[in-house]
Amino acid sequence: MEQALEDLAVELANADPGARSATELADAAVFLAHAGQHLARPELATRSLELAAMAVERADGHAGLGLYDGLVGVAWAIEHMLAHPQPRHDSEPRGWSWDDDPTEDVHDVVLFETVDPEPRHAAELAYGRVGHGVLELERLLLSRRDSRRLLAAIADRLEGAALSTTHGVTWRAAASDADHYEDLGLAHGSAGVIAFLARLVRLGIAPHRTVPLLERATAQLSSHRLHDGGFPGRAYQGRPPVASRLAWCYGDLGVAAALWGAGTSLQRAEPSELAVDVAVRAAARDLASAGEPDAGFCHGAAGLAFTFQLLHHLMRAEPLRDAARRWLEHGLHLARPPADRAPWGMLEGLAGIGLAWVAAISPRPPHWASRFLLWPD
């Protein structure tokens, strides 16, 4: 494991950054920072800083606002690296330095998005306000200007965009045929909104809005549980629901993480017990029922291994630890393309795979998992 991690980190550090996007560079920088710290190899930390500086140079208005492929993601990576600094040797040159607030420009764009009355992706993680909120949560760690106020404004917009249902509230999905289904996943749907709201409730942000919204959204999501105990990825009007593949982005695992967050933040046993039940059931799923995951984080072995590991840390249920080890093992045996051809990002590339490996062997809490709406506390 240690050797596989070292090989991956060294290969990525030596790979040509060529025409890589700003987010790929920033995500590789996050991975090399954590890998360098765990492996005690300062040259990896130095390379991490070089890649982060390149990412900032390449981040421009054409990058879009996505959390995984746009400006918000680059800003998140920089804030994350500043909030979780590397131990430094005094003799080591820093290579570069920041102004007071290197992500101020992105922050202003996010602020604009938040007051925009008709954003395309109202309530989702990858491209929407929840993703902007994930950036603001990272900025909050550094006591950045306006972060608390902006998080409260995002909660306000989520409340405004919520649709009342029989069981509670949900949100309109962003895709073009969105009128016909409810998206229940972490990456684009209500599980993501729930995990985010749970964090706001825990931080005491706008509780008069976030507590009732979280309660009603949790009730609505819970109502979609299938007879066999799992959750669909989407719920279509007038069509029988089908079980989702096993992944971080859609299905049982992400739903379990969101419901656990809701239960602990609201201090209610029911969502937490449901979360444990769903997670333990998901741990028993085999390769075929999981939908043949790839190696990456989003819907792959790295995301499964890490999410099961985190849920075991939170829930203390043995089958979750066994599942984490099994998926880690499976991921290690999957062939991966070399670093000069593979994607580098945290969502579907080498940085996400590498960070899951660091988490598997390092005693340090995986604070980077906030990018995926997962928290170790």
Chain contacts with Zn ion (rule: CB under 5 A)? 249, 298-299
With respect to Zn ion, which residue has the nearer C-beta, 36 or 352?
352
* Angstrom distance (rounded) from CA 14 to CA 16: 7
Shortest spacing between CB 152 and Zn ion, in angstroms: 30
Shortest spacing between CB 247 and Zn ion, in angstroms: 5
With respect to Zn ion, which residue has the nearer C-beta, 36 or 189?
189
With respect to Zn ion, which residue has the nearer C-beta, 249 or 262?
249
With respect to Zn ion, which residue has the nearer C-beta, 44 or 249?
249
* Angstrom distance (rounded) from CA 226 to CA 215: 20
Shortest spacing between CB 371 and Zn ion, in angstroms: 14
CA distance readout (Å), 198 to 96, 106, 186, 365, 374: 36, 25, 13, 20, 11
Greatest CA separation for the chain: 66
Q: Which of 290, 274, 295 is nearest to 226 (CA)?
A: 274
With respect to Zn ion, which residue has the nearer C-beta, 200 or 306?
306
Enumerate long-range contacts of 271-275, CB under 8 Å, 24 or more apart: 271/218, 271/222, 274/222, 274/225, 275/315
Shortest spacing between CB 148 and Zn ion, in angstroms: 31
Handedness of CA 344, 193, 265, 315 (dihedral sign): negative
With respect to Zn ion, which residue has the nearer C-beta, 58 or 188?
188
Region of residue 204 (phi > 0: left; psi between -120 and 50: alpha; otherwise: beta): left
Token pair belonging to 34? 């954590």
Shortest spacing between CB 303 and Zn ion, in angstroms: 8
Shortest spacing between CB 363 and Zn ion, in angstroms: 29
